[in-house]
Amino acid sequence: MKAIDRKDYCPRYAYEDSPQSIGYGATISAPHMHGYALDKLEPFLQPGMKALDIGSGSGYLAACMAAMVGDTGKVVGIEHISELVESSKRNVQKSHEDWIDSDRLELVEGDGRVGYEKEAPYDCIHVGAAAPTTPTKLIDQLKSPGRLFIPVGKYSQSIMIYDKDADGNVHEKKWLGVQYVPLTDAKAQRGFHQYDE
């Protein structure tokens, strides 16, 4: 996280340890949550590995992941708000323009609820919004072994860590109580948060 300057990705209060609005009903998570995610995913963010960041928003966490997988790895960030995809590309280019040009970091528009099959399978997947139930479509896109870090729940949410072992068996662990925005579609997000734009 020290290698990626948060102020390139967060317009206001970049270093405060709290979520910040980035417009369109989206937030950049608090730094401590990004730290937790990177710590839990670190064994699956080694040089040469491939990762998916769902709800990539500002591009900050995807850039941190790209720093970890190195120039032989790849990170895909998927975001359903087209304006955020474009601004995240500009954010990354402030300090790491070569990452996008070299395909080390790819930022795409799409529905992250179904993952991103085109680049699957992934060593790890991070999800920055809460799924209502176990996300089987995402687990299917993990390598064996692989790890998924995702908040799950409608009203009461917890970070769930799903580990797929070398034989393809999936083990789940409930880790931490959290409060995230729901994993939704672009139309619903835009309609509910018009005042943010």
> What amino acid is encoded at 34 in this protein?
H
Instruction: Evaluate if residue 193 carries a pLDDT over 70.
Output: no
Helix (H) or strand (E) holding 107: strand 105-109
**Active-site residue, from 29, 58, 87, 88:** 29
pLDDT of the residue at 188: 62
User: What pLDDT, in 10s, does the model give residues 50-81?
Assistant: 999 999 999 999 999 999 999 999 999 999 99
Residues 6+ apart with CB under 8 A from 155: none
Confidence band of 11 (pLDDT split at 50, 70, 90)? confident
Whole-model pTM?
A: 0.92
Closest residue by Cα to residue 144 from 177, 166, 129, 124: 166
User: What pLDDT, in 10s, does the model give residues 20-42?
Assistant: 999 888 889 999 999 999 999 99
Rounded (10°) angle between helices 60-69 and 82-101:
20
> What is the chain's mean pLDDT, rounded?
92
Helix (H, G, I), strand (E, B) or coil at 147: strand
Confidence band of 180 (pLDDT split at 50, 70, 90)? confident
Active-site annotation holds for 29: yes
Where are the domains positioned within the chain?
A: 45-181
- Contact (Cβ atoms closer than 8 angstroms) between residue 172 and residue 134: yes
pLDDT of the residue at 158: 94
* Rounded CA separation 85/104 (Å): 16
Helix (H, G, I), strand (E, B) or coil at 196: helix
Instruction: Evaluate if residue 164 carries a pLDDT over 80.
Output: yes
User: What pLDDT, in 10s, does the model give residues 81-125?
Assistant: 999 999 999 999 999 999 999 999 999 999 999 999 999 999 999
Specify the CATH class of 45-181 in words.
alpha beta
